[in-house]
Amino acid sequence: MIPNLPPPAGVGPGHPAPEFDPLEFLRLSPQDTLARAQAFYSEMNARRTTRQFSRDPVPQAVIEWAVRTAGTAPSGAHRQPWRFVAVQDGGLKARLREAVEAEEYKTYTQRMPAEWRAALAPLGTDHIKEHLTDAPWVIVVFREKYGVGADGTRIKNYYTVESASIAVGLLIAAVHHAGLVTLTHTPNPMGFLAELLGRPSNEEALVVMPVGYPAPDATVPRLTRKPLNEIFQVDRGSAGRPRIEP
C-alpha cells in the first residue's frame, strides 16, 4: 500500500462508478486443467501456414463465427479497435490481388534488403499471391486508429496494434479449430486496402488473411518450432543479463 497519496486520475469523483457483475467461471479440477492445456497445445501445434488454397467454398456463417471469436479479444480501454472485412466477391478479390502483387513486386525487387530476402528464402515466398484469388474468403483486418464520435470528434483509442493483433491471434486459432487454414499476409504499404474496401480514414489495414481449405496438394515449408526451454523462463534466469553486442 502506498500511503497518503491522492487517488489516481480516473478513480473517484468526476467519473461514473464502474459497474461489475459476478464472474461466470467453471473451475476445473487440476487434472482436467492439465489435460485441456495439453489437448489445446496438440491441436494448435498441428496448425500450419500453407500458401496453397483450394477454391472450395466455405459458408459465410463459419467466417462469422470465427470473427465473433476474434471479437472476444481483450483490448486497450475495451475500445475493440478492430474491423474485419471479409471479401468473397471474385472481382474484388482479383482487384485486391492485383494491387497487392504490384506493391509486393516492388517490395521483393527494390525494398527488401538482401538480408531480408535471405531470411524469407526458406519460406519460399514471393510477390505472387495466388491464395488471394483461390481462397473463398480473404479477411482484411483493420485497426481503428481512433474512434469518431456522433458529432465527428476524435475519440482516442489505446494500444490499437496490440489489441487488433491479439484479435488476429484468436482468429487464427478459430479458423484452425474450425478445420480451415489461413495465412497471415502483410502487404506493404497497405494504404490502398482502406480505399479499395471503402473503409474510413481512421482505420488502417493490419493484415490480410485468406481463409479456406488447403489445396489437395498443399505443401508447407520444413520448419521446427522452438522448444519450451528456448521460449520460457521461470523467475530470474541464472546467467544474469547477457549483453548482446549490436
Question: Which residues contribute to the site for ligand IYR (CB under 6 A)?
Answer: 104, 120, 123, 125, 185-188
Alpha-carbon Rg of the chain, whole angstroms?
Answer: 22
Q: Which is nearer to ligand IYR, 72 or 188 (CB)?
A: 188
Angle of helix 160-177 relative to helix 30-45, nearest 10 degrees, comes to 90
The beta strand positions in 95-243, using DSSP E, are 137-144, 146-148, 154-156, 181-182, 203-212
Q: Which is nearer to ligand IYR, 194 or 208 (CB)?
A: 208
In angstroms, give the least distance from the CB of 231 to ligand IYR: 18
Kindly state the DSSP code that residue 188 receives in the 8-state scheme: S
In angstroms, give the least distance from the CB of 13 to ligand IYR: 49
Residue 217: all three cell numbers together: 496438394
The beta strand positions in the chain, using DSSP E, are 82-87, 137-144, 146-148, 154-156, 181-182, 203-212
In angstroms, give the least distance from the CB of 112 to ligand IYR: 7
Kindly state the DSSP code that residue 110 receives in the 8-state scheme: I
In angstroms, give the least distance from the CB of 51 to ligand IYR: 9
In angstroms, give the least distance from the CB of 171 to ligand IYR: 17
> From CA 155, how far away is CA 53, in angstroms rounded?
39
Q: Which is nearer to ligand IYR, 38 or 186 (CB)?
A: 186
Q: Which is nearer to ligand IYR, 23 or 114 (CB)?
A: 114
The phi and psi torsions of 96 (rounded to 5 degrees) equal -60, -45
Q: Which is nearer to ligand IYR, 188 or 219 (CB)?
A: 188
